[in-house]
């Protein structure tokens, strides 16, 4: 189902389901991240629905200029698999996170623009520029000309990084939420780039 017109990059509140028909396979990504074959196959046939809540909150350390946008995501997975939870603050500060699937990671998230992402990647050069070409392409004008969510995660133990951009794109003739990823090994020149497409399911239960 298409995303409602009132849903935008600052209001993703609701339930979003990954559409596997229109998304790239996540198996190569999970393999690069060290996830075992049995778990990958189970996730490959499971339905994954994300319950997303966005809100603003005053930082406890009062270091920000104002309230910071937060995103809490509870991921529901069918087939008897345990879901995961994400808690993001859009202030570009690294925070620790641990779960059964991805292990111990450090991640940061922010609101930015595709223009800024491309400029920073071009200045950095190398693999950053090549990954940026993938993760910033294919979005609607509202994302291309407006704001996007950028996330970056590092797993030092398993030696991978995951860079992602969120926005809206036309999928199956409709406006859907899309997240584009470039996942890299830190110890070798190996990368997997995928695009995940999310259908709108409905509002969160009250």
Q: What is the pLDDT along the chain (206 residues), one digit of tens a residue?
A: 999 999 999 999 999 999 999 999 999 999 999 999 999 999 999 999 999 999 999 887 666 567 999 999 999 999 888 889 999 999 999 999 999 999 999 999 999 999 999 999 999 888 899 999 999 999 999 999 999 999 999 999 999 999 999 999 999 999 999 999 999 999 999 999 999 999 999 999 97
The pLDDT of residue 62 is 60
Q: What is the pLDDT of residue 63?
A: 60
Pairing of strands 48-57, 95-99: unpaired
pLDDT at 190: 96
What is the spatial order of strands in the sheet that 68-77 belongs to?
85-89, 68-77, 48-57, 14-18, 191-202, 174-185, 160-171, 148-155, 103-112, 95-99
The per-residue pLDDT for 178 is 98
- The whole-number pLDDT of residue 167 equals 98
Q: What is the pLDDT of residue 168?
A: 98
């Amino acid at each position: 189902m298409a995303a409602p017109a009132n849903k935008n990059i600052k209001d993703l509140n609701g339930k979003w389901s990954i559409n596997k028909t229109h998304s790239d396979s996540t198996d190569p990504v999970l393999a690069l991240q060290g996830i075992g074959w049995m778990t990958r196959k189970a996730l490959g046939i499971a339905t994954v629905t994300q319950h997303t809540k966005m809100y603003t909150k005053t930082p406890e350390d009062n270091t920000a200029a104002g309230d910071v946008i937060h995103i809490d995501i509870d991921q529901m997975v069918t087939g008897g698999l345990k879901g995961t939870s994400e808690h993001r603050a859009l202030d570009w500060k690294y925070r620790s996170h641990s779960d059964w699937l991805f292990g111990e990671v450090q991640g940061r998230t922010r609101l930015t623009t595709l223009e800024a992402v491309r400029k920073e990647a071009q200045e950095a050069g190398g693999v950053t520029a090549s990954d940026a070409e993938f993760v910033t392409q294919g979005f609607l004008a509202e994302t291309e000309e407006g704001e996007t969510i950028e996330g970056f995660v590092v797993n030092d133990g398993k030696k991978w990084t995951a860079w992602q951009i969120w926005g809206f794109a036309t999928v199956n003739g409709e406006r859907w939420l899309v997240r584009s990823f470039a996942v890299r090994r830190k110890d070798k020149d190996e990368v997997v780039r995928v695009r995940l497409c999310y259908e709108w399911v409905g509002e969160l239960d009250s």
